[in-house]
Chains A and B, each alone.
Chain A
Amino acid sequence: QVHLQESGPGLVKPSETLSLSCNVSGGSVRSGSHYWSWIRQPPGKGLEWIGYVFHSGSTLYNPSLKSRVTIAVDTANNRFSLRLNSVTAADTAVYYCARTCYQPCGFDIWGQGTMVTMSS
């Protein structure tokens, strides 16, 4: 079955850039049937969708984060990535990668999540 695994630093300094990667196994990011998303959850709070990428490289972002976010797909290595610029303490959260259908059907596969703290 499809498995997603996030990786990246657990600590980022304020004003710097957060970079995370999501490795896809048991399936392919080349799938024309799925979007590949990033979702975050601040400690003790709810879920916020950050954006998604399609296998073609086309993206769509949450308007609230659009100016700071870049999501990209790496088909050669079957993974996709997240970059979030100019981070602040408010960006501290568990970051999840997740899959949804091209004709959206909910997020059916999730990574385990990675906690990222923005602190000097």
Chain B
Amino acid sequence: EIVLTQSPATLSVSPGDSVTLSCRASQRVSNYLAWYQQKPGQAPRLLIHAASARATGIPARFSGSGSGTEFTLTISSLQSEDFAVYYCQQYYNWPPFTFGQGTKLE
């Protein structure tokens, strides 16, 4: 099973900041990595797939990069609605599909 480790667990930020979240895979996953945003009481929302491709309707301030075992999600000019928990997920080697433990923006 591929383990995804996200860092940091919590990030204290302010509106307008640019933030970078990290996801490290225990094995190479090529670019088969997705990022999700989850707000309290809501289902996760797909932000990024294939490591860097924005999903439909996702604002350009969200960008993903990386390949192999190291990935980042960058949010430029943080908006108030961006305060949430962010998860990475690999779909290179399954079963199972696996998720990171999440990074909370507060």
Q: How many A-B residue pairs have CB under 8 A?
A: 64
CB distance A46 to B95 under 8 Å?
no
Instruction: With both chains docked as a complex, state the minimum distance between the C-beta of A40 and any C-beta of chain B, in angstroms.
Output: 11
CB distance B45 to A110 under 8 Å?
yes
CB distance B91 to A47 under 8 Å?
no
CB distance B49 to A106 under 8 Å?
yes
Chain A neighbourhood of B98, CB < 8 A: 49
- Is A112 at the interface (CB under 8 A from chain B)? yes
- Is B55 at the interface (CB under 8 A from chain A)? yes
- Is B62 at the interface (CB under 8 A from chain A)? no
CB distance B50 to A105 under 8 Å?
yes
Which one, B32, B43, B44, B101, contacts A104 given CB within 8 A?
Answer: B32
A64 to B95, CA, bound (A): 10
- Is B96 at the interface (CB under 8 A from chain A)? yes
CB distance A112 to B43 under 8 Å?
yes
CB distance A63 to B95 under 8 Å?
yes
CB distance A106 to B34 under 8 Å?
yes
Contacting B at CB under 8 A, from A45-78, are 46-49, 51, 60-64
CB distance A104 to B96 under 8 Å?
no
- Interface size in chain A (residues, C-beta < 8 A): 23
CB distance A107 to B96 under 8 Å?
no
Which of B48, B49, B97 has the most chain A CB atoms closer than 10 A to its own CB? B97
Which one, B50, B56, B87, B95, contacts A61 given CB within 8 A?
Answer: B95
* A46-B99, A46-B102, A60-B94 known; A106-B46 Cβ under 8 A: yes
Residue interface bits B6-32, CB-to-A below 8 A is 1, else 0: 000000000000000000000000001
* A62-B95, A64-B96 known; A107-B46 Cβ under 8 A: yes
Chain B neighbourhood of A63, CB < 8 A: 1, 95-96
A70 to B94, CA, bound (A): 18
CB distance B89 to A106 under 8 Å?
yes
Binding site for A on B (CB under 8 A): 1, 32, 34, 36, 42-46, 48-50, 55-56, 87, 89, 91, 94-102
7 contacts between A and B (CB under 8 A): A37-B97, A47-B89, A49-B97, A63-B1, A104-B32, A105-B49, A106-B46
